[in-house]
Amino acid sequence: DIHFLSVCGMSILTKAVLADVSGHGEESAEVARIIHDALQQSIGAHDNSAMLSSVNEAFLRRRTGAFKFTTMVSTIIDSRDRSLVYAYAGHPSILRGSKGRFTPVRPESGAPPGMPLGIVRGGALRYEQHHAQLAKGDVLVLHTDAFTEAKLPDGELLGEEGLIRLLETAGTMQP
């Protein structure tokens, strides 16, 4: 997994990115370099969808070895108006906690989470950017499928609902 967090010099905008790479070792290191380069090029941009598209194209140009794909979520939080701008590339939904309850952050349009990166070349492929309004005290949980695909003692997967139950029973809204 690869994570990136940056805050602008005026502490207004926070960019958080989480990627889940298929593969390990040198393959993951190459993916981290591709993501780092794309993030550096778009550090001040408000367009998560364009950043995901550029990472996708970079993967397809530079893909080698066993690397297959990666999922990613890219977010920008504006502290002035508590807005969240986000885009998914096949990644699990962000979980939003408010007053002890968690819900998935999904587009109102019901749009799917986008294609994972490194599978389909640009053209018609477009990663949609979405908006959500946050409230004071909201907590955001960005996670990978390592949590939702964890097996319970009975062999069943924890799933998104199980992760939400765990977060809610943890009894705290502090990070």
In 3D space, the residue among 113, 119, 17 whose CA is nearest the CA of residue 67 turns out to be 119
Token pair belonging to 35: 């993501």
pTM value? 0.88
Could you read off the pLDDT tens digit of each residue along the chain, which spans 175 residues?
888 888 888 889 999 999 998 777 777 777 788 888 887 887 777 888 888 988 888 878 876 666 678 899 999 999 999 999 999 999 999 999 988 899 999 988 877 778 898 888 766 678 899 999 999 989 999 999 999 999 999 999 999 999 999 999 986 666 6
- Under a CB-based contact definition with an 8 Å cutoff, are residues 2 and 144 in contact? no
SS3 category, 147: helix
Q: What pLDDT, in 10s, does the model give residues 56-77?
A: 888 788 766 666 788 999 999 9
Residue 18 phi, psi (nearest 5): -135, 130
Nearest-angstrom CA–CA distance, 59 and 69: 8
Query: What is the enclosing helix (H) or strand (E) of 71?
Result: strand 70-78
In 3D space, the residue among 68, 67, 60, 23 whose CA is nearest the CA of residue 38 turns out to be 60
Q: What pLDDT, in 10s, does the model give residues 144-167?
A: 999 999 999 999 999 999 999 999
